[in-house]
């Protein structure tokens, strides 16, 4: 969840670390801090709040130097505060550490250190690390040996960076399950939790594998495994451009990413359809023979990715006639799921680092089941630990509330289902061709929806003081109702719940009053009359109805207080269009309420702890 940066070179340490932390702020913004060498001593600056608060401290008390580490925090152990902010040090401030992840046995280790006379000031698990290292160094061990012993002592999934007063030219680092990357420049090395923090300075990056550690000065890098064996880094050229992680004139990343969806889909269509009627997944290193033998898919994911997986279940069952289940990763892991050799698990994660989803992969592999992952980062831990992966091609997504990654996941589920159905001879050529032609029209239909965004922006003014929302959808659009509710509560802090339309009478209808807006996804389809019945039931109880309808709709419009039209499309592809007005609604309501959509409270982009 947290963000780590490190640097050794000739540049001013303060500016390098701050630029890196700003790029990682989506990973956590409860507090931030840096540790750097100045005249041979470690200087610490840290502050509660966002990175702007740290920058204010640095204006008053700047740090001058060329080697250091930094951190932006999402709180796990201990409340957001300056004391709990990283970096943490030992008593003499001769060791400074930043950390991402959780030390699961920290309380036991802390008690042992307390018995030895160590004094702690924070409530974090991180603070034990510099004290453990201090104990190792006091016994006469080298820094390298102290690090190796540390790995044997602490338990959990984590990444750390550290600097030592006795070795002021170097940054030390290690990872055991949490992401960490190295960047190489001209007589300089960089460290970061995500490639976005390296783009400005490093063309070549090395993604640390699990149980790798090392250290670097400005002109030398040494890399090892946890047994102490030296290994060679695999630096590769990173292709992300700075413009992709810049707001590009938009007020917020979330709005930019909503508007990027047509371009993302054009890229997906170009790469996957490749101008013809075939489907292309060149990165999917799994045989057609194996796919043809799958008798059951289990999709496991969390949050927005779970909602895309629920739609994926519909697609796989409709197009391949293969039984498919969708499950929360956090529940899948701990219920001893029944999966057999001809079952295939599909893991979904935008970041490729989601801890619950990664644990689900390990659970599946422990039962000798093959895993395909849908990820937005082909170098992520989940991609590397799966048997195969599909890159959803959404491009960097910085806003904490996922938008373009959701629709990219959904379209890839649809294309993958067609791919498997072709292998199993389940879809005739005419039907397949018609569906692919309709997919080619989606970008322009998305642009039509976005051109009417001012309608929703105006609506948002009516919901500034609303306390509750209800979202309803059926079949393919039930998961969209869940996603719409999630988006609204994530960034506007309005309580919202999503339900299947058929379940309205089984409890949720008790929530309906004149103060509770109900968003109804009522597009033209087989279940359109059923959604009209839902709207009638809501109006009979004085509820406010916001309808998402097909252009030209008459009946739902008559019954609704607010109506937004989307271009006509088949029901099976409709989630790719119906979700966009819900994304816009959540964004504009958040703005009108004075909320910050890119950095909603208590949330972080990558959930790397269970």
Is 601 domain-assigned? Answer: no
Same domain (yes/no): 439, 460? no
Which residue, among 510, 501, 504, has the nearest Cα to 531 in the 3D structure? Answer: 501
Q: DSSP secondary-structure letter at 340?
A: -
- The CA-atom distances, in angstroms, between 128 and each of 124, 416, 482 are 8, 46, 41
| pLDDT band with cut points at 50, 70 and 90 for residue 486 | very high
Question: Could you give the CA distance from residue 539 to residue 12 in angstroms, rounded to a whole number?
Answer: 63
Q: Which residues pair with 327 in a beta bridge?
A: 300
Residues 6+ apart with CB under 8 A from 148: 226, 228
Q: Which residues pair with 98 in a beta bridge?
A: 161
Is 91 domain-assigned? Answer: yes
Per-residue model confidence (pLDDT) at position 610 = 59
Both tokens assigned to 421: 């159905």
| pLDDT band with cut points at 50, 70 and 90 for residue 200 | confident
At residue 170, φ and ψ (nearest 5 deg) are -125, 150
Same domain (yes/no): 437, 536? no
Is 114 domain-assigned? Answer: yes
HSE, side-chain direction, 13 A CA sphere, residue 606: 31
Q: Could you tell me if 99 and 73 are in contact, meaning their C-beta atoms sit under 8 angstroms apart? A: no
Is 602 domain-assigned? Answer: no
pLDDT tens by residue, 358-378: 999 999 999 999 999 999 988
Per-residue model confidence (pLDDT) at position 277 = 63
Same domain (yes/no): 420, 541? no
CATH number of domain containing 232: 3.60.20.10
Q: E strands of 329-482, at which residues?
A: 343-349, 370-375, 388-391, 468-473
Q: Could you tell me if 205 and 194 are in contact, meaning their C-beta atoms sit under 8 angstroms apart? A: no
| Least confident range of 231-245, 439-453, 537-551 | 231-245
Question: Could you give the CA distance from residue 361 to residue 327 in angstroms, rounded to a whole number?
Answer: 13
Residues 6+ apart with CB under 8 A from 429: 277
Which residue, among 105, 131, 145, has the nearest Cα to 226 in the 3D structure? Answer: 145
Q: Is the dihedral of CA 191, 197, 198, 200 positive or negative?
A: negative
Is 604 domain-assigned? Answer: no
Is 598 domain-assigned? Answer: no
Domain residues for the domain of 290 are 247-449
Per-residue model confidence (pLDDT) at position 429 = 78
pLDDT tens by residue, 141-173: 999 999 999 999 999 989 999 999 999 999 999
Taking the mean position of all CA atoms in its chain, how far away is CA 483? 15
The count of structural domains within the chain is 3
Same domain (yes/no): 328, 341? yes
What does R_g of the chain's alpha carbons equal in angstroms? 25
Same domain (yes/no): 137, 228? yes
- The CA-atom distances, in angstroms, between 28 and each of 3, 301, 516, 538 are 7, 21, 32, 40
In the predicted model, what is the mean pLDDT of residues 325-341?
Answer: 89
Q: Could you tell me if 477 and 578 are in contact, meaning their C-beta atoms sit under 8 angstroms apart? A: yes
In the predicted model, what is the mean pLDDT of residues 407-424?
Answer: 95
Same domain (yes/no): 342, 208? no
Q: Examine the fold and report which residue of 244, 273, 307 is the final residue of a domain before the chain moves on.
A: 244
**Is residue 270 pLDDT above 70, yes or no?**
yes
| pLDDT band with cut points at 50, 70 and 90 for residue 608 | low
**Is residue 78 pLDDT above 70, yes or no?**
yes
Question: Could you give the CA distance from residue 322 to residue 420 in angstroms, rounded to a whole number?
Answer: 10
pLDDT tens by residue, 517-556: 999 999 999 999 999 999 999 999 999 999 999 999 999 9
Per-residue model confidence (pLDDT) at position 278 = 78
Q: Could you tell me if 47 and 54 are in contact, meaning their C-beta atoms sit under 8 angstroms apart? A: yes
Per-residue model confidence (pLDDT) at position 246 = 82
Same domain (yes/no): 215, 186? yes
| pLDDT band with cut points at 50, 70 and 90 for residue 26 | confident
Residues 6+ apart with CB under 8 A from 159: 4, 99, 100, 101, 173, 174, 175, 176, 177, 178, 179, 180, 193, 208
Residues 6+ apart with CB under 8 A from 78: 84, 122, 123, 124
Q: Could you tell me if 166 and 144 are in contact, meaning their C-beta atoms sit under 8 angstroms apart? A: no
CATH number of domain containing 561: 3.40.50.10490
Q: Examine the fold and report which residue of 219, 244, 269 is the final residue of a domain before the chain moves on.
A: 244
Both tokens assigned to 204: 């070549």
Average pLDDT, the chain: 93
Q: Examine the fold and report which residue of 382, 416, 449 is the final residue of a domain before the chain moves on.
A: 449
Query: Residue written as tokens 């699990």?
Result: 210
**Is residue 242 pLDDT above 80, yes or no?**
no
In the predicted model, what is the mean pLDDT of residues 56-68?
Answer: 95
**Is residue 276 pLDDT above 70, yes or no?**
no
- The CA-atom distances, in angstroms, between 37 and each of 92, 96, 158, 491, 594 are 15, 10, 24, 39, 40
Q: Could you tell me if 582 and 484 are in contact, meaning their C-beta atoms sit under 8 angstroms apart? A: yes
Active site residues: 2, 605
Same domain (yes/no): 377, 487? no
**Is residue 132 pLDDT above 90, yes or no?**
yes
| pLDDT band with cut points at 50, 70 and 90 for residue 606 | low
Same domain (yes/no): 127, 159? yes
Question: Could you give the CA distance from residue 351 to residue 358 in angstroms, rounded to a whole number?
Answer: 11
Per-residue model confidence (pLDDT) at position 274 = 77
**Is residue 275 pLDDT above 70, yes or no?**
no
Same domain (yes/no): 282, 173? no
Residues 6+ apart with CB under 8 A from 88: 96, 97, 98, 99, 122, 124, 126, 127, 129, 130
| pLDDT band with cut points at 50, 70 and 90 for residue 418 | very high
Is 605 domain-assigned? Answer: no
Per-residue model confidence (pLDDT) at position 371 = 96
Which residue, among 137, 51, 60, 134, has the nearest Cα to 86 in the 3D structure? Answer: 51
**CB contact burial 86-105 (16+ within 10 A = b; e otherwise):** bbbbbeebbbbbbbbbbbee
Q: DSSP secondary-structure letter at 230?
A: B
Same domain (yes/no): 470, 370? no
Question: Could you give the CA distance from residue 87 to residue 574 in angstroms, rounded to a whole number?
Answer: 48
Both tokens assigned to 508: 């949720």
Is 51 domain-assigned? Answer: yes
| pLDDT band with cut points at 50, 70 and 90 for residue 120 | very high
Per-residue model confidence (pLDDT) at position 609 = 63
Residues 6+ apart with CB under 8 A from 60: none
In the predicted model, what is the mean pLDDT of residues 1-15?
Answer: 93
Q: Which residues pair with 469 in a beta bridge?
A: 496
Same domain (yes/no): 186, 120? yes
């Amino acid at each position: 969840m947290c963000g780590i940066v490190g640097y050794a070179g000739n540049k001013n340490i303060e500016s390098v670390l701050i630029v890196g932390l700003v790029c990682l702020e989506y990973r956590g913004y409860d507090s931030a801090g840096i540790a750097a060498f100045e005249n041979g001593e470690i200087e610490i600056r840290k502050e509660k709040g966002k990175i702007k608060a740290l920058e204010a401290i640095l204006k008053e008390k700047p740090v001058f130097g060329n080697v250091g580490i930094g951190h932006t925090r999402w709180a796990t152990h201990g409340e957001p505060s300056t004391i709990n902010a990283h970096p943490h040090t030992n008593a003499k401030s001769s060791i400074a550490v930043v950390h991402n992840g959780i030390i699961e046995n920290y309380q036991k280790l802390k008690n042992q250190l307390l018995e030895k006379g160590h004094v702690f000031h924070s409530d974090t698990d991180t603070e034990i690390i510099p004290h453990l290292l201090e104990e190792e160094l006091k016994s006469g061990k080298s820094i390298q040996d102290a690090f190796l012993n540390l790995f044997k002592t602490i338990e959990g999934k984590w990444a750390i960076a550290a600097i030592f007063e006795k070795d002021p030219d170097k940054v030390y680092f290690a990872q055991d399950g949490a992401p960490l990357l190295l960047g190489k420049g001209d007589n300089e090395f960089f460290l970061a939790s995500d490639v976005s923090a390296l783009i400005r300075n490093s063309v070549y990056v090395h993604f640390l594998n699990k149980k790798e550690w090392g250290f670097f000065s400005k002109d030398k890098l040494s890399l090892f495994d946890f047994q102490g064996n030296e290994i060679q880094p695999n630096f590769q050229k990173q292709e992300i451009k700075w413009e992709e992680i810049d707001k590009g004139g938009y007020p917020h990343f979330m709005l930019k990413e909503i508007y990027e969806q047509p371009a993302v889909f054009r890229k997906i269509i170009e790469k996957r359809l490749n101008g013809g009627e075939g489907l292309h997944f060149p990165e999917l290193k799994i045989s057609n023979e194996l796919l043809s033998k799958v008798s059951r898919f289990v999709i496991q994911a969390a949050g927005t990715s779970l909602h895309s997986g629920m739609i994926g279940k519909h697609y796989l069952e409709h197009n391949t006639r293969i039984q498919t289940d969708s499950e929360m990763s956090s529940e899948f892991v701990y219920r001893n799921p029944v999966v057999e050799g001809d079952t295939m698990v599909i893991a979904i994660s935008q970041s490729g680092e989601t801890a619950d989803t990664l644990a689900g992969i390990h659970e599946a592999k422990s039962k000798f089941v093959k895993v395909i992952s849908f990820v937005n980062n082909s170098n992520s831990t989940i991609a590397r630990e799966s048997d195969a992966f599909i890159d959803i091609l959404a491009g960097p997504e910085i806003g904490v509330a996922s938008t373009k990654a959701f629709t990219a996941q959904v379209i890839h589920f649809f294309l993958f289902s067609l791919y498997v159905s072709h292998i199993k001879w389940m879809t005739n050529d005419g039907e397949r061709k018609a569906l692919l032609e309709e997919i080619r029209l989606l970008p322009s239909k998305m642009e039509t929806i976005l051109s009417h965004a001012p309608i929703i922006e105006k609506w948002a003014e009516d919901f500034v003081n609303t306390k509750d929302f209800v979202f309803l959808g059926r079949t393919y659009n039930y998961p969209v109702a869940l996603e719409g509710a999630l988006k609204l509560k994530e960034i506007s802090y309005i309580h919202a719940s999503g339900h299947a339309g058929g379940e309205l009478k089984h409890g949720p209808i008790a929530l309906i009053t004149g103060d509770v807006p109900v968003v109804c996804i009522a597009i033209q389809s087989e279940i359109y009359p059923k959604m009209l019945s839902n709207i009638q039931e809501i109006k009979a109880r004085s509820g406010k109805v916001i309808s998402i309808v097909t252009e030209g709709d008459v009946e739902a419009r008559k019954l609704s207080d607010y109506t937004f039209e989307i271009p006509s499309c088949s029901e099976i592809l409709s989630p790719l269009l119906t979700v966009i007005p819900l994304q816009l609604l959540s964004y504009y309501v958040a703005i009108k309420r004075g909320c910050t959509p890119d950095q909603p409270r208590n949330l972080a982009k990558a959930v790397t702890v269970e």
